[in-house]
Every structure is written in C-alpha cells, then in structure tokens.
Amino acid sequence: MNRVFFFTFLMLLLPVMSLGQKNIRFWEKGPLIWSDFSMVNQSIGSEHSYLEFGLDVIDRQQDVSGVSIPVRTAVAYVDKEKSWVDSSFRTPAQLRYNQVMFNIVELHRRRLQVVVDTGGNVNMDYYMRLLTYEADSFCHSCNYGNDTAEVLWWEREIRRQMDSVTPLMVEKHYQANLIEGYRPSGCFGMAMGLGTKFFTGPIHNYFAPSGGFYFDLFGGSWRHNFDFGFYIGGGRCKPDSIVTTNPDNMLYATDRITTLDFHLDYGISVIDNMRLTVTPFVGFGLQGVYYNSQEEVSGGPSEGCWRAGVDVQYDFSQANYATRKTITFFGLAAHGKVYVCFDRFRSIEGAPRGLTLNFQLGFSMRGRDMKILRTQK
C-alpha cells in the first residue's frame, strides 16, 4: 500500500469541517487503543495494521483571561473509519508502532503551530510532504512495526524532538504514556560531596561526630556496580575522654582527630531507570584515625572494616546520544549514601570495637548506556 499516495489523497479531499465528525480522533486525547481502528482487514505482506492520519490548521475561539479571542490551531488526528488492523496482530508491539506513527504527526503539528504563532506562511502542501516522507521512512525502516528494536529507537528520537518544539501559543502538550523499552547496560562516573560520621556503641563515648569530604569513582554493567573512593573528615575527642592508660598513647578532650577511609564496594541496583538508581551495597575498606595528643602520638587507617549501606542517584540534567541499539546519557545527578562500618581502632590502645553511622550527600557526573530491548521479531 503506497502510504504517500493515500495520505496525499486524504489531505486534498478531506475538508476542514470533517474534523468535527465522530470518526476523527485527536492526538491529545491520549494513547491509541485498538478501538480507534474501526476496520478489520487481512495483512498486506508485512503490514498488519494501517493508521490513516492527518494534519490541518483550524480557526477557533480561545478564552484568555475571560476574553474570547480567535486563534489558529494546528491539529493532528486519526481517521478511525479508515484505519484498520488484522485481528490476528492486535499486539502491544503493533499498537506501539502505530503510536509512534501518530507521534510523528504530532511532532509536525507542533512545528506547524510555531509557524502559525509567528505569522509565517502556512504552506500545507509543503508540510504534508515533509510529514509523508518521514512517516514513510519510519514504516520501511522498522518493516511496518515488525522490527521492534527499530520502533523503540524511533519512539525515543521522536519524543525527544517533540519535547524540543515549544509553540508560542499557550497549549498543553500531552505524553504518549508508553512503557519505555530500555534496559540499563552500563554506567561510569564520579561522585563527590560532603559527609558526616557518627560513632556509636562503646566508641560513642570517646569521639564527637566527624564532618568532611568524600570522593568516589564508580562503574558497572547492567545492575552490578563497583565503587572505589575515600572519605576524609575532622573532629574532636569528647570532653574528659581518656582512651588508654598508656601514658605514651593517650587521647584528651583537646585532641583533634582526622578520620580517613578507603573503600571498595559492590552493589546491585534494585531500582534502575532513566532517572533514579537505588543500589544496596556491601564493601570492605581501611578506616582509622589520625590524632595529635600532648605527646604527639598519631595513628592511621590500618584497620580493615566491613561496610554496608544504600547508594541513591537521581539524574536532574541529561544529554543523550542515540544509536539504533543503545542510548548513552551524560549528565549530573544528585547523589546520596547511607552506610555503617564495623570498626575497631587498633592503633589506639584500649579503644573498643564499635560501629560508625555515615551519611554522604553531593552530586555525581555520570554516563549511562541504555540498551534497546528487542521484544519481538
């Protein structure tokens, strides 16, 4: 079926008044459903469904601050009476293919609305040719929806372009509300920010909370993540605290402490989508305390400690680069981490074993690969 011929024929013969008929279905009414295809037909080769769509400009009245003013509005619509589907292929993949087709029409409607808003010359023949060419390219590149990976690539690309087109006229842009067909396949990046350490258990009586800075490098494949980094912070001993009876190795209330941690963590993301990543993790590191007493005795991060916690990242700024198989995101994310360490500061004679409760908050810069899923051939 030659889509170019039928589309051009429809646009030349369908009068504007027909837009009010009940067989017309507008894009902003939400995602397509199979009841929008009134006809049942047999497949024509690889084509299992057909969407008869249109693009036009109509004159209407819009209420602005209680005043009705005439406006010209571009509309994207489907002729339900002429749209058909093979009843054997009423599948989610076929419906998604038609929704992407309809999104292409909406993209060209938004571009046309920009021209209308700015008072430009509206040459419908020109815009119909552009729309027809892109719709025809989409049909053939994805083999009428049978290549679902190609459909998903088009869906992402068209929706990205739709978001970048903003007509001057105040209007509501609806979303297609389709399930994203992408799976995280890898990530890499760095995170930094501020942190704090609370000493709990028996060592709570000796050290006040520490505040400092952290830096992490991370990477992984699919939901598996590795994190290497350090935390350095400063604090004080608590008043009247004496950790050891050894006169050559004492801590006093006037002593300043510096905590220094190195770690390697492994985590599995339980939530991992386009924006949010939540990753419980376990790890092992070296933790210790540098301090200065009246005798100038110091210790260091020589004690191994196990750690466990949760890492959270939320992307608030993204740039993406798409290929036919993957989409790579680069951007900034808010980063937070909560974890506990099982510590014993052996370099401080007489110091008991205890836990530290750690909080970190900052930002990360990361890149992510999202693999396009092929659900059906």
Instruction: Decide if pLDDT at 82 tops 70.
Output: yes
Mean pLDDT of 270-287: 86
- Last residue of a domain, which of 164, 191, 219? 164
Q: Is residue 203 a part of any domain in this protein?
A: yes
With cut-offs at 50, 70 and 90, classify the pLDDT of residue 183. low
With cut-offs at 50, 70 and 90, classify the pLDDT of residue 83. very high
Question: In which domain, by residue range, is 132 found?
Answer: 3-164
Mean pLDDT of 206-228: 88
Same domain, yes or no, for 93 and 22?
A: yes
CB contact at 8 A, 158 and 107: yes
Q: Is residue 252 a part of any domain in this protein?
A: yes
DSSP string for 141-202:
HTTTTT-HHHHHHHHHHHHHHHHH---SS--PPPP--PPP-EEEEEEEEEEEEEEEEEEEGG
Q: Quick one: DSSP state of residue 237? A: B
Same domain, yes or no, for 337 and 193?
A: yes
pLDDT of residue 167: 72
With cut-offs at 50, 70 and 90, classify the pLDDT of residue 265. very high
pLDDT of residue 63: 67
Cα-Cα-Cα-Cα dihedral of 109, 112, 114, 116, to 10°?
-120
Mean pLDDT of 118-138: 87
Mean pLDDT of 271-291: 82
Same domain, yes or no, for 138 and 197?
A: no
Residue with the larger pLDDT of the pair 370 and 75: 75
CB contact at 8 A, 322 and 274: no
Where do the DSSP E strands lie in 237-291? 256-268, 271-272, 276-291
pLDDT of residue 344: 62
Residue with the larger pLDDT of the pair 296 and 96: 96
pLDDT of residue 205: 72
Instruction: Decide if pLDDT at 374 tops 80.
Output: no
pTM over 0.75: no
Mean pLDDT of 216-227: 89
Cα-Cα-Cα-Cα dihedral of 172, 323, 130, 57, to 10°?
-10
Residue with the larger pLDDT of the pair 163 and 202: 163
User: Of 321, 368, 371, nearest to 181 (Cα)?
Assistant: 371
Q: How far apart are CA 330 and CA 317, in angstroms?
A: 8
Mean pLDDT of 276-283: 92
pLDDT of residue 17: 42
Q: What is the mean pLDDT of the chain?
A: 78
With cut-offs at 50, 70 and 90, classify the pLDDT of residue 328. confident
pLDDT of residue 260: 81
pLDDT of residue 348: 57
Q: How far apart are CA 39 and CA 97, in angstroms?
A: 17
Q: Quick one: DSSP state of residue 96? A: H
Same domain, yes or no, for 148 and 225?
A: no
Q: How far apart are CA 260 and CA 300, in angstroms?
A: 8
Instruction: Decide if pLDDT at 123 tops 90.
Output: no
Instruction: Decide if pLDDT at 255 tops 80.
Output: no
Instruction: Decide if pLDDT at 72 tops 90.
Output: no
Same domain, yes or no, for 261 and 192?
A: yes
Instruction: Decide if pLDDT at 375 tops 60.
Output: no
pLDDT of residue 4: 42
- Last residue of a domain, which of 105, 131, 164? 164
Instruction: Decide if pLDDT at 67 tops 80.
Output: no
**Number of domains within the chain:** 2
Q: Is residue 176 a part of any domain in this protein?
A: no
Structure-token match 């008043």, residue found: 239
Q: Is residue 83 a part of any domain in this protein?
A: yes
Q: What CATH number does residue 215 fall under?
A: 2.40.160.20
Residue with the larger pLDDT of the pair 283 and 170: 283
As given in the structure block, the two tokens for residue 376 are: 């059906």
pLDDT of residue 98: 94
**pLDDT tens for each residue of 85-117:** 998 999 988 999 999 999 999 999 999 988 888
Same domain, yes or no, for 214 and 137?
A: no
- Last residue of a domain, which of 136, 164, 192? 164
Lowest mean pLDDT among 139-153, 206-220, 228-242, 250-264: 250-264
As given in the structure block, the two tokens for residue 146 are: 């049978």
CB contact at 8 A, 112 and 127: yes
Q: Is residue 170 a part of any domain in this protein?
A: no
Same domain, yes or no, for 206 and 244?
A: yes
